Chain A
Amino acid sequence: MTAATRSGQRLGAIARQRELGLLVILVVLGAAVTLRAPQFLTIANLSQVSVLASVTAVAALGEALVILTRNVDLSVEATIGIVAYVVAVTLESHTFSAPVAILFGIGLGLLLGIVNGVLVAFLRVPSIVATLGTLSVFRGIDYFIAGSHQVPLAGLPEGFTDPARSDVFGVPVFVLVTVILVAIGTVILRSTRFGRQVYAVGSNPEAAAILGIPSRRVVFTAFAACGALAGLAGVMWVMEFGTINGTAATGAVLAIVAAAVVGGVNIFGGSGTLAGAALGALFLGFVANALPLIGLSQFYLQAIYGAVILAAVAADALILRRLQRSRTRRSGR
């Protein structure tokens, strides 16, 4: 396992290849699906797919950040759910205006992310245990405050859900939001101290500790950011689906983690890009959309998601092993 971390930079190269590879697969599969179902290649459908994928993508960006530090956040779906409900219900009761509710939603997500961050970074609970626990706790709170109440679309202020359906020069707003977040995140990861620390902590925690990198603070920040992004995804969820009850986003964590993994974010930490995670989300959304169009039952989706995750990690490991072998040979050992 430690061997994996040594090749962090090489894996960075893989991640870039992964992005290209995903794009190629998307185009090829898209062409194939269009042959069977011409409705696929319509502006209406493509924007629908990309808008839906954007919600997953925004959450997957946070997840990718956490995975880069060698952790995982399984509670994101509960964060999305609780934020979605709270935002919807505060809008319905006119407690907050739309902009305040959006900020409140992101803030609530941040708060929940901080809870995870404290548990993992400072109380030293392994992230899988901590977030499996908070998944249950957050969802329980969500059910508790929501009860059997459901906020209907009509309960939301006029125009609140418009961003999910409008575009700027032909680009859907949600896609634009995702692209901007990817750009900002990429700049931070590539060009700031924090960014380098994230990769350092993820690829080799021991070395990072020796170098005096404040790994706990880095991990904490990653979880907090993941929470805030999940909060934003929760707001987007409300805009996309309109009708919100306590069950919103149940089961979404699978697609979110899968998006990051498929997008080339290495689960061993230390390598991968945000653009990859976003592309991963687009890829999974594309598959979900294409299946019924080519006449395959929705029951295949779950199996395909599982197979895709396995294929992605297996591919990572294979490439990594080959790289190591060729390097070993070159260095004459």
Chain B
Amino acid sequence: MTAVTTSATPRFGWTRSLARWETLLVVALLGLIVLGNALSPFFLTAGNFANLIAALMEVAIMALPMTLIVIAGEIDLSVESAAGLASALLGFLWMSHVPLPIAILIVLAVGALGGLLNGLLIARGGLPSLVVTLGTLALFRGLALIVLGPIGVSDFPEAFTAVGFGHVPGTVIPWPFVIFLVLAVVLAVVLHRTWIGRHIYAIGKNSGAARYSGVRVARVKVGLFMLSGLIAALAGIILTSRLSSARADAAQGMTLTVVTVVLLGGVNIFGGSGSIPGVVLAVIAVAVMQNALRLASVTVEVQSIALGLLLILSVVIPTSAHRAKSAIERVRGGRPPPPDSVPRGEQRIPSVEEEPS
């Protein structure tokens, strides 16, 4: 990520503005719900809640480790292909009469291995995550096509497909949403309440300084990419279950939405700040928006435009706000603004304790 920017790195008083960002998200969410209700009488129904959540669950699940990776100053574009490879491999194994529990374990292991490949190339090889994961985006998808070919496998047992399509008994809550919530809580605790989380923030804020203060940067990064691969594989399995069909082209195009959700959740694309609750809110906001647009019969092309604009605005707004703020400070006689692309090493080195949580 550092390799592809000439822009200034916005540095907010993140503890405060993050809170503000999340407040903004809540307000936006409420606005969307009111709008959705006005657009369609079916919007505020329990069945509709299940629909809008179910359609975005794979994206939501993959957004969780992506949050950690972006906070650490990297990116993983390969998640959609890792999920596709998981789906294809699961189909292949099931077709070859491997018992489903074992097949699922193998698929998860392969997902983690794929993440390991990313992590090693990036953290040990010193290669930029953007290109490495662009490469594995193609590689994993290609492997998926080689493993399964163009066929679809759909004779999975009912017990398996019920997880993806079914609801928690007596409610309209889809099972994948439960998985998402559990993962979100676990990762939120890890990120916001443990030393691992502090190290992740430290790496994202200043990788060099983190290393000197004893953070094992490479090890943390490899771990994060493995987690991303593992959870992408899990998302692939859930997608397979929800569609009751394994295909090599599963999850194609999802990375865009995953990255959008993460940035919309207030995670700084330059690393160093962001929170899981913010991303969870963003997931729900995007799900509500897409659903409201569909119920209002807004066509998919307009939705695609809306998603792209949302992605850009989620960076333009905080960046511009920051520039406006520093301009005001300059007028008040503060220091001159930092030049473009201040290298990480020259930035304010935050103490590891100073985390938004």
A/B contact in complex, CB under 8 angstroms? yes
State in angstroms the CA–CA spacing of A215 and B315 once bound together.
21
Q: In the bound complex, do residue B339 and residue A206 qualify as a contact, i.e. CB atoms below 8 Å apart?
A: yes
Give the chain B neighbours of A306 by CB distance below 8 A.
135-142
> Which of A36-44, A92-100, A123-131, A271-279 is found at the contact surface with chain B?
A123-131
Closest chain B residue to A308, Cβ basis? B135
Interface residues of A in 111-151 (CB under 8 A from B): 119-121, 123-130, 132-144
What per-residue 1/0 map shows which CB atoms of B316-333 lie under 8 Å from chain A?
A: 100110010000000000
Give the chain B neighbours of A216 by CB distance below 8 A.
6, 340
Closest chain B residue to A302, Cβ basis? B142
Interface residues of A in 1-54 (CB under 8 A from B): 1-2
Q: How large is the interface on A (under 10, 10 to 19, 20 to 34, 35 or more residues)?
A: 35 or more
At the interface, yes or no: A303 with Cβ under 8 Å from chain B? yes
At the interface, yes or no: B186 with Cβ under 8 Å from chain A? no
Q: Which of A2, A70, A313 contacts B343 (CB 8 A)?
A: A2
State in angstroms the CA–CA spacing of A121 and B138 once bound together.
29
Q: In the bound complex, do residue B142 and residue A304 qualify as a contact, i.e. CB atoms below 8 Å apart?
A: yes
Give the chain B neighbours of A205 by CB distance below 8 A.
6, 340-341
Give the chain B neighbours of A71 by CB distance below 8 A.
4-6
> Which of A166-174, A187-195, A261-269 is found at the contact surface with chain B?
A261-269
State in angstroms the CA–CA spacing of A71 and B315 once bound together.
16
At the interface, yes or no: B102 with Cβ under 8 Å from chain A? no
Given contacts A137-B309, A310-B132, contact A125 B142 (CB under 8 A): no
Q: In the bound complex, do residue B311 and residue A143 qualify as a contact, i.e. CB atoms below 8 Å apart?
A: no
At the interface, yes or no: B300 with Cβ under 8 Å from chain A? yes
Interface residues of B in 280-339 (CB under 8 A from A): 299-312, 315-316, 319-320, 323, 339
Q: In the bound complex, do residue B311 and residue A310 qualify as a contact, i.e. CB atoms below 8 Å apart?
A: no
At the interface, yes or no: A160 with Cβ under 8 Å from chain B? no
Q: In the bound complex, do residue A129 and residue B315 qualify as a contact, i.e. CB atoms below 8 Å apart?
A: yes
Give the chain B neighbours of A138 by CB distance below 8 A.
308
Given contacts A124-B8, A209-B341, contact A317 B305 (CB under 8 A): no
Instruction: State the majority secondary structure of interface residues on A.
Output: helix
What per-residue 1/0 map shows which CB atoms of B131-162 lie under 8 Å from chain A?
A: 11011111111110110011000000000000
At the interface, yes or no: A178 with Cβ under 8 Å from chain B? no
> Which of B54-62, B121-129, B217-225 is found at the contact surface with chain A?
B121-129
Q: Which of B7, B127, B150, B340 contacts A126 (CB 8 A)?
A: B7
Closest chain B residue to A202, Cβ basis? B6
Instruction: State the majority secondary structure of interface residues on B.
Output: helix
At the interface, yes or no: B1 with Cβ under 8 Å from chain A? yes
Q: Which of B304, B311, B312, B320 contacts A139 (CB 8 A)?
A: B304
Q: In the bound complex, do residue B304 and residue A309 qualify as a contact, i.e. CB atoms below 8 Å apart?
A: no
State in angstroms the CA–CA spacing of A69 and B149 once bound together.
39
Closest chain B residue to A318, Cβ basis? B125
At the interface, yes or no: B342 with Cβ under 8 Å from chain A? yes
Q: In the bound complex, do residue B256 and residue A317 qualify as a contact, i.e. CB atoms below 8 Å apart?
A: no
Closest chain A residue to B142, Cβ basis? A303
State in angstroms the CA–CA spacing of A309 and B130 once bound together.
11
At the interface, yes or no: A229 with Cβ under 8 Å from chain B? no
Give the chain B neighbours of A124 by CB distance below 8 A.
7-8, 319, 323
Q: In the bound complex, do residue B121 and residue A128 qualify as a contact, i.e. CB atoms below 8 Å apart?
A: no
State in angstroms the CA–CA spacing of A70 and B7 once bound together.
11
Q: In the bound complex, do residue A313 and residue B135 qualify as a contact, i.e. CB atoms below 8 Å apart?
A: yes
Q: In the bound complex, do residue A120 and residue B259 qualify as a contact, i.e. CB atoms below 8 Å apart?
A: no
Q: A70, A210, A306 — which one has the most chain B CB atoms within 10 A of its CB?
A: A306
Interface residues of A in 211-260 (CB under 8 A from B): 215-216, 219, 254, 257-258
At the interface, yes or no: B239 with Cβ under 8 Å from chain A? no
Interface residues of B in 222-270 (CB under 8 A from A): 248, 256, 259-260, 263, 269-270
Q: In the bound complex, do residue B305 and residue A302 qualify as a contact, i.e. CB atoms below 8 Å apart?
A: no
At the interface, yes or no: A176 with Cβ under 8 Å from chain B? no
What per-residue 1/0 map shows which CB atoms of A305-323 lie under 8 Å from chain B?
A: 1110110011001000100
Q: In the bound complex, do residue B302 and residue A313 qualify as a contact, i.e. CB atoms below 8 Å apart?
A: no
Q: In the bound complex, do residue B311 and residue A267 qualify as a contact, i.e. CB atoms below 8 Å apart?
A: no
State in angstroms the CA–CA spacing of A189 and B248 once bound together.
42
Given contacts A303-B138, A306-B136, contact A144 B1 (CB under 8 A): no
5 smallest A-B Cβ distances: which pairs? A303-B142, A306-B139, A136-B308, A306-B138, A302-B142
A residues in contact (CB < 8 Å) with B: 1-2, 69-72, 119-121, 123-130, 132-144, 201, 205-206, 209-210, 215-216, 219, 254, 257-258, 261, 267-269, 297, 299-307, 309-310, 313-314, 317, 321
A-B contact pairs, 17 of them (CB 8 A): A119-B316, A124-B319, A125-B312, A125-B315, A125-B316, A128-B130, A130-B315, A133-B310, A134-B308, A137-B305, A140-B308, A254-B138, A268-B128, A303-B141, A306-B137, A307-B139, A309-B135
